[in-house]
Chains A and B, each alone.
Chain A
């Protein structure tokens, strides 16, 4: 790992002066032949080389993308270089590299678009900043399209709604198809196909883990709460990120979901086939892979005969589930139409809280003052509730219903202006540690200030990637890894189970 300095948290956030090439060395490992072929992508003889005929292939792929994605075609044309986005990306703010300004990132592809697909760029390339497609250009694309977490903060501020994530996704997919696939994502996705989840946890390991959770909860509360796996005939299929099965603080969230389901008296199950909510097909910009991963959930739901699908705490997974599950794996006419398809676990819990069927003791969380990190994909690409903006209110209302002490971070860093954790979009890998630490700067700054000014002790999140990223990055900024918590961990803390603490095991009947 290259040496680097953690950026300094300042009293007031400043827009940095640009420093060209500051992150030109940051590049994730390129996928070798074994991972590329699993994904159906080609590879050159040596890792790091491009396939034969890469240039023609790339332009051909670009033509194809432009004719399939209105977003890409329109976004290539409409940018006026106004500069509104230039200070909005957390990676730019943390690294000062000008190629991490959203418009400059888009321009890596736009310059090539202009050269080969527009009149002005074909005949007056210098005038409009069009450039020839060379190996060096491809290399830069690979480096800088892997310094974008597809968080869409820039799109919020663009006067034309240009979304860099769309450009990043298109570019990554084209790169993968000329031999420049990213190792991290291309290594993970086949595990979903072969085993069912990103972490490669097979069915027996999952069953074992869940049994362990049941024992843990019973030991703690003397109530038998079930964590069922592959149970046919259950009403609800819970699809949750696989990190929930063992990582901290994720697993405390999973314990929380189970307790809420238990108290609500519903029957539910996890599926080993769909034991992963994450969908890295989004990150690599592949419709086909995103669909393939989504179809597992359809198959699992049919095989288990469930009536509803609920998603656990995961940001991009919820983006895909909320926006694309219907498109990619629908129609869902075989599920109960009285519930949202799919439903977010927070929608479920909020409903239970509203109906007053959960026995809550808020003082259980009195040792904390909690703030909430809006995950980028949830904030800017979904809803959690029926109204626009409910993705901000629902989590906060749930937290406030189970915690006495809640404080928001600075207004320009929350809701749809939230900063990415720095590890989203397929960048949660050790070979990008410098980028992840530096990209976390804006969020760390806001958190640090609310710790100092408002006495915040913990930050709650509803995304597996955010939780993992913060666990790793918080210590770099002088905070501790246990300051990041799951929202359902807070729910779990405050939720008093029926029969909790009683001697006999009367509660068993209710667990159906």
Chain B
């Protein structure tokens, strides 16, 4: 194996572990910290099914953002949908043909959509970048990391597009490398500069995920304003530390 391949094997494991441990850690923290009070933003669902529907509209349609600002919604939604499509396309590098979902992943429609989604992704990111620069309110609240994150994502999309449309790489060898990572049967990585840039950026993204605002992805599910069922009069809500207060003075009995 080449030294470069060994380096990327190590980087891949480090990034993967950072991502998984970091995000799981954060999720456990969100679970551990109690929500002492009912703070659902109303009108809120009065059943569990209703909460699922509320999240569906938020996650699939970005409902609140749509109500808030149409431009950010268009660009943001376009970017996230493209990300999803690109993800599906990329599965073919990480899944062997005897895997049950292979026929689905290998569908022409999945592959083509994933391929052209790269353009939509770049447009979406440019739009978001433009808002950050040109809207005075958004410029005021932006930190360097906010711009850098958009640049990082755009560079990932751009280098990906390069490989799809300009500078094709040895995807058979790439797939061997990726599968090798999963089965601890390490293979050489194609030494193509576009690919190396693409992978390096993706690994960076994975590593910053748990220490950046990308935590909005798991965090979204833990906002009591959105996940709580609107039933405070019907069902008593009490946190462990609230219960301790009560037990101490006995004034709720």
Contact = CB atoms under 8 A, between A and B. Distances in A.
Given A69-B36, A79-B216, A416-B42, A161 B232 contact: no
A324 B33 contact: no
A83 B141 contact: yes
Interface in A136-195: 152, 155-163, 166
B245 to A, nearest CB: 7
Interface in B10-56: 26, 29-30, 33-46, 50
A80 B213 contact: yes
29 contacts: A18-B137, A68-B36, A68-B239, A70-B30, A70-B33, A70-B34, A70-B35, A70-B224, A71-B225, A77-B219, A78-B220, A81-B146, A82-B138, A83-B141, A85-B68, A87-B69, A107-B141, A128-B144, A129-B144, A156-B41, A157-B68, A160-B226, A161-B58, A161-B64, A161-B225, A166-B39, A327-B38, A383-B42, A416-B41
A300 interface: no
A247 interface: no
B165 interface: no
B144 A127 contact: yes
A87 B43 CA distance: 22
A74 B69 contact: no
B242 interface: yes
Given A81-B141, A118-B211, A327-B242, A379 B33 contact: no
Interface string B240-253: 01100100000110
Q: For B76, B131, B142, B252, which residue has the most chain A Cβ atoms within 10 angstroms?
A: B252
Interface of B: 26, 29-30, 33-46, 50, 58, 62, 64-65, 67-69, 72, 76, 131, 135-138, 140-146, 148, 208, 211-213, 215-216, 219-220, 222-226, 230, 232-233, 235-239, 241-242, 245, 251-252
B236 A291 contact: no
Interface in A248-306: 287-288, 291, 295, 298
A17 B212 contact: no
Given A161-B225, A295-B251, A327-B237, A73 B137 contact: no
B43 A104 contact: no
Interface string A101-121: 101100100000000001110
A179 B143 CA distance: 31
Given A84-B65, A288-B245, A331-B252, A98 B143 contact: no
Given A155-B225, A381-B39, A388-B230, A69 B33 contact: yes
Contacts of B46: 387-388
B142 A87 contact: no
Nearest to A162: B223
B158 to A, nearest CB: 21
Contact of A74 (B72, B142, B222): B222
Nearest to A19: B136
Contact of A324 (B34, B38, B136): B38
Interface residues of A, number: 76
B18 to A, nearest CB: 11
A103 B76 CA distance: 18
B232 A71 contact: no
A78 B219 contact: yes
Contacts, number: 214
Given A74-B219, A327-B236, A382 B42 contact: yes
B170 to A, nearest CB: 36
Nearest to B50: A388
B42 A342 contact: no
B223 A71 contact: yes
A128 B38 contact: no
B145 A120 contact: yes
Interface of A: 15, 17-18, 66-71, 73-75, 77-88, 98, 101, 103-104, 107, 118-120, 126-129, 152, 155-163, 166, 287-288, 291, 295, 298, 322-324, 326-331, 340-342, 379-383, 387-389, 391-392, 416-417
Given A69-B33, A322-B233, A327-B37, A291 B62 contact: no
B33 A67 contact: yes
B223 A298 contact: no
With most chain B CB atoms within 10 A of its CB, the pick from A15, A161, A328 is A161
Nearest to B253: A331
A309 to B, nearest CB: 11
Contacts of A291: 245
A129 B30 CA distance: 23
Contact of B36 (A88, A287, A331): A287
Contacts of A388: 42-46, 50, 230
Closest 9 CB pairs of A and B: A129-B143, A78-B219, A157-B68, A161-B223, A84-B68, A388-B43, A83-B138, A161-B226, A86-B137
Contacts of A15: 137
A101 B35 contact: no
A84 B220 contact: no
Nearest to B140: A98
Contacts of A324: 37-38, 232
Contacts of A66: 33
Given A322-B233, A324-B38, A101 B224 contact: no
Among A107, A326, A380, which residue has the most Cβ atoms of chain B within 10 A?
A326
Nearest to A20: B140
A152 B41 contact: yes
B46 to A, nearest CB: 6
Given A78-B216, A127-B148, 5 more contacts: A74-B30, A83-B135, A127-B143, A326-B232, A388-B46
Nearest to A79: B213
A23 to B, nearest CB: 15
A83 B143 CA distance: 13
Given A74-B30, A157-B68, A127 B230 contact: no
A104 B252 contact: no
A82 B143 contact: no
